[in-house]
């Protein structure tokens, strides 16, 4: 077995580079049940990592005593789909660490791993009495011009351990990406 590590390409992020002539970059949404397949964002019998992580976020809120309707889940999934659509067309703004003001954009490379970038949802999500900053973790593999969703994380605001939780989620996304890339390159 070949040990594959998913790496981002060295160019500006695709999600932040407008494309017009050939249409959007295609998204792949692999999941936990079948890492090598694109199961779609909408879930179904087999859900993507993105949907599985959103379900986990909602379960976390429910465990804290807050009731959330199916409508809120569907609405949240719609917000994610809209952001991914914009990203596919390269309409997001990339972080600019070189600028005087260290401008944060909608998307940026995760510094602690080689193969993961993040898309920041533009405003906090209010789920029950809780407020979350939501991040979508994804990759832009160097071996093909596609976008691959690797998961989602909701940082509970005012949580003292948010940085460790975020770094753990990024490392999980890298592991998922490595597993996906190994299977994808074998097919």
Q: What is the DSSP letter of 106?
A: S
pLDDT at residue 162, as a whole number? 86
Q: Strand ranges (DSSP E) for the chain?
A: 27-28, 107-109, 117-120, 125-127, 130-139, 147-156
DSSP helix/strand/coil, 60 = helix
When mean pLDDT is compared across 10-14, 107-111, 113-117, 134-138, the lowest value belongs to 10-14
What's the CA gap between 121 and 156, in Å, rounded?
Answer: 14
Over 90: is that where the pLDDT of 23 sits?
Answer: no
pTM: 0.88
Domain ranges of the chain: 14-186
- Tell me the pLDDT tens digit for each residue of 74-87: 899 999 999 999 99
């Amino acid at each position: 077995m070949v040990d594959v590590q998913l790496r981002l390409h060295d160019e500006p992020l695709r999600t932040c580079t407008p494309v017009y002539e050939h249409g959007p970059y295609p998204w792949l949404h692999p999941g936990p049940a079948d890492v090598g397949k694109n199961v779609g964002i909408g879930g179904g019998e087999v859900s993507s990592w993105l949907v599985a992580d959103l379900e986990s976020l909602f379960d976390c809120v429910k465990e804290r005593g807050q009731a959330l309707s199916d409508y809120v889940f569907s609405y949240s999934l719609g917000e994610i789909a809209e952001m991914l659509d914009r990203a596919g067309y390269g309409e997001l703004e990339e972080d600019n660490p070189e600028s005087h003001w260290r401008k944060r954009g909608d998307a940026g490379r995760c510094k602690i791993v080689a193969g993961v970038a993040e898309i920041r949802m533009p405003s906090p999500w209010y789920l029950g009495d809780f407020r979350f900053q939501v991040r979508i973790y994804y990759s832009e593999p160097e071996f093909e011009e596609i976008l691959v969703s690797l998961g989602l994380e909701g940082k509970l605001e005012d949580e003292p351990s948010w940085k460790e939780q975020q770094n753990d989620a990024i490392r999980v996304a890298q592991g998922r990406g490595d597993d996906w890339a190994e299977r994808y390159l074998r097919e």
